[in-house]
Amino acid sequence: MRILAAMSGGVDSAVAAARAVEAGHDVVGVHLALSRAGGTLRTGSRGCCTIEDAMDARRAADRLGIPFYVWDFSERFRDDVIDDFIAEYQAGRTPNPCMRCNEKIKFAALLERAIELGFDAVCTGHYATLIEGESGLELHRASDNAKDQSYVLGVLNAEQLAHTYFPLGTTPSKAIVRAEAAERGLTVAQKPDSHDICFIPDGDTRGWLAEKVGTATGEIVDRSGAVVGSHEGAHGFTVGQRRGLKLGVPAPDGKPRFVLEVRPVSNTVVVGPKEALAIGEISGARFSWAGAGPADADFLCHVQIRAHAEPVPATAFVTADGVRVVPEQPLDGVAPGQTAVLYIGTRVLGQFTIDTTVSAVPVGV
């Protein structure tokens, strides 16, 4: 196949490209320039898509003997990922920018251009596997559960899956990938993995958002509506947050309180006991299937609400308005804007963006 290898500058994508070459494919490497600040530098494991990452990707491509290009996707990244991130927080939701990047950039914009240029597939260093099932191609978890990235790939549809290539999916551990990189003479063999939001490399999401949308004083209230504190912008809070609340009125039982809800219209933050974070039902309208959808309108599955969360047994109900999921045990600290990925066994069935949540603990309990 003609393969376009997305090379981030990290060890995973470098080894994935190397395996594609070794498998006999015609491989071309490409690094996506996603930042408008061309001189952005990397600090350890913070940040990605920096100038150092581009240089690391180029060195890896040279070592593999494949053509290499840098494509400027910064405008598309700003519109589809950064602006979406800001808008979601302003709407009182907690977005996942990695999901949006996979959905809109790596497996939409990049894949579209790749197909236009005559490539058969895009190769990435994600840890996930593709299996040909009875009803078509299926997305499954990786062999190494600790590195499994199928959750962040749950946004891919059947057409996109047909043009993807994940060479690392069956690798037993990340240590093997690093050892292979060293063996191949790739300088990124011991490079730290990236974490945090790539366009907020210092990790200060609240400060970053304050710069983008400004501050606006509002009230922090408890579940009964009593004012217990104030804040400088509801966008700076997420469901489940405990630190930084600076409440002026202690809880009657003296226990810590957590953010339960963010109300952007009234610029209000609702807090309460940890028990009230338990969610008994979630639903959303924006959903997609990773391959063939379910045969029945309701079905048993597992739901996962974060990249490294434990999947929880649940029942899903599909209607004309979206998907509703009732877990067998309450989910902890779910926020509108998060992505719920549905699994049957190791297979990713599909995903939806959570619009509404129903607390498992009624007010007053």
Q: What span, in angstroms and rounded, lies between the C-alpha atoms of 250 and 256?
A: 8
Q: What span, in angstroms and rounded, lies between the C-alpha atoms of 107 and 99?
A: 11
| The dihedral sign for the CA sequence 301, 302, 303, 307 | negative
Q: What span, in angstroms and rounded, lies between the C-alpha atoms of 22 and 196?
A: 32
What are 321's two structure tokens?
A: 């308005």
* Helix (H) / strand (E) containing 139: strand 136-141
Q: What span, in angstroms and rounded, lies between the C-alpha atoms of 134 and 129?
A: 16
Hey, what amino acid is at 251? A
Q: What span, in angstroms and rounded, lies between the C-alpha atoms of 7 and 11?
A: 9
DSSP assignment letter at 191: P
By CB atoms closer than 10 A (0-12, 13-18, 19+), residue 343 is: buried
Whether 301 sits among the annotated catalytic residues: the reply is no
Whether 198 sits among the annotated catalytic residues: the reply is yes
3 state SS of 329: coil
| The dihedral sign for the CA sequence 167, 172, 175, 180 | negative
> Is residue 294 within 8 Å of residue 349, measured between CB atoms?
yes
Q: What span, in angstroms and rounded, lies between the C-alpha atoms of 161 and 309?
A: 24
By CB atoms closer than 10 A (0-12, 13-18, 19+), residue 243 is: exposed
Q: What span, in angstroms and rounded, lies between the C-alpha atoms of 173 and 225?
A: 50
- Catalytic-labelled residue, pool 48, 49, 98, 101: 101
Listed in sequence order, the residues at least 6 apart from 116 whose beta carbon sits closer than 8 Å to its beta carbon are none
Active site residue ranges: 101, 198
